[in-house]
Amino acid sequence: MALSLTMEKLKLNPESNIKNVIAVMSGKGGVGKSSVSGMLATSLKQKGFEVGILDADITGPSIPKMFGLRQSLISDGGKILPPKTETGIKVVSINLILENEDDPVIWRAPILNNTITQFWQDIAWGDLDYLVIDMPPGTGDVSITVLGMLPVTGILMVSSPQELAQMVVRKALKMGEKMGISILGLVENMSYAICPNCNEKHEIFGPSKGKELAEMFEIEFFGSLPLDPKLSELTDLGKIESYALPKDLDLANLVDTAVKNLA
């Protein structure tokens, strides 16, 4: 409990210039944090920004598979370069280093933390407008390292309508507050499902609570995402960049505006 909430922020290498760092966080696993990270990065890239993703979920990394990335990190004259997705997003993830994508990473926290700081310090990221960090679930050791040691501009919080998820998301929101990181806004995922047969919307995880939760914490509610079999299919195929966000949820614009409002 002797946790110092103010840590010295790590510096980047001369090969990297990152303007904004967005941590995508949910507290709870499985609410679709990784797919929201992927959609945010895709959406920012489509707007013309230079974008990278740092996959901080070291023991459950999902990003490379979603983007169909199989290439390893690239070593070039002493520099380590991140591979690029189809639309040009730079990605760093432990699963780009492991021999088999399903090899487990059975590491104690100091080694997990070292991996995060190496991803930040030792990768030649180049010029990025946005680095999206896919956070691990929970408010534990690796989350503390990311929020404490990297210069995070703001948090994009992801919730789902289940009461249980709400409780855990509230923990993450309080963690952000305690660590002095701004919450840019909240996206509710899995808000409803559309029956492929009768086409009706069903709130299978219970009634939407995103707006209410955002009001409670006085943060912006960005909108809702459905539980969409099309998204599962595309992420499984490594084609998340082909997924079209609902028209009323322009993630890139919402996040970019929130970041500009911070300044």
Which residues make Cβ contacts (< 8 Å) with residue 206, sequence separation at least 6? Answer: 161, 162, 163
- Select 127 or 233, whichever has its Cβ closest to a copy of itself: 233
Q: Give the closest residue to 51 by CA, choosing from 214, 251, 217.
A: 251
- Select 29 or 151, whichever has its Cβ closest to a copy of itself: 29
Taking CB under 8 A as the rule, does residue 215 contact a copy of itself? Answer: no
Taking CB under 8 A as the rule, does residue 112 contact a copy of itself? Answer: yes
Cα atoms found within 13 Å of the Cα of residue 251, Cβ hemisphere only: 28
The pairing of strands 154-159 and 16-25 is: parallel
Among 71, 87, 232, 242, which residue sits at the site for a copy of itself (rule: CB under 8 A)?
Answer: 232
Residue in this structure with the two tokens 């210069």, named with its chain if needed: 151
Q: Give the closest residue to 138 by CA, choosing from 44, 231, 59.
A: 59
Distance in Å, CB of 110 to a copy of itself, minimum: 8
Taking CB under 8 A as the rule, does residue 97 contact a copy of itself? Answer: no
**Cα(225)–Cα(108) distance, integer angstroms:** 35
Among 12, 73, 81, 105, which residue sits at the site for a copy of itself (rule: CB under 8 A)?
Answer: 105
- Select 232 or 253, whichever has its Cβ closest to a copy of itself: 232
Which residues make Cβ contacts (< 8 Å) with residue 149, sequence separation at least 6? Answer: 7, 8, 9, 10, 116, 117, 120
Interaction residues for a copy of itself, span 4-23 (CB under 8 A): 5
**Cα(259)–Cα(131) distance, integer angstroms:** 13
Taking CB under 8 A as the rule, does residue 46 contact a copy of itself? Answer: no
Taking CB under 8 A as the rule, does residue 59 contact a copy of itself? Answer: yes
Among 24, 54, 172, 251, which residue sits at the site for a copy of itself (rule: CB under 8 A)?
Answer: 172
Which tokens is 47 given? 């707007």
Give contact residues for a copy of itself (rule: CB under 8 A).
1, 3, 5, 27-31, 34, 57-60, 62, 65-66, 101-112, 136-144, 162-165, 167-168, 170-172, 174-175, 178-179, 193, 195-198, 200, 202-206, 227, 229, 232-233, 235-236
